[in-house]
Amino acid sequence: MFDLITLAEVAQNYGAGVGFAVMGGGLAAIGAGIGIGKIGGSSVESMARQPEATGDIRGAMILSAALVEGVALFAVAVAFLANNGIFKVIHAGIPS
């Protein structure tokens, strides 16, 4: 039966872990860009439909964009740690 450490060890031995980490960081950045673009576009459209609610919409837009950016930053940080050998640290801390 495979567990997380075995899969990480196999991926690290064959270099796939680095590739997956790089792809994960790139996908997180692309996803955040698409999400923030949709948030901005939708908020501008809603401001045009209801100009009296501009302040509330702007506040919700900034909060939503900040949350999306925070999640993307966390995903890129995890990908960076995975790329720099966090699997070795995890594996070294578990006795065989």
Q: Check residues 95 and 9 and name the one with the higher pLDDT.
A: 9
pLDDT digits (tens, 9 = 90+) for 7-64: 566 556 656 666 677 778 888 889 999 999 999 999 999 999 999 999 999 999 999 9
DSSP 8-class letter at 85: T
**Average pLDDT value for residue range 58-71:** 94
Which one has a higher pLDDT value, 66 or 16? 66
Query: Is 23-85 assigned to CATH 1.20.20.10?
Result: yes
What distance in Å separates the CA atoms of residue 92 and residue 40, rounded to the nearest whole number? 45
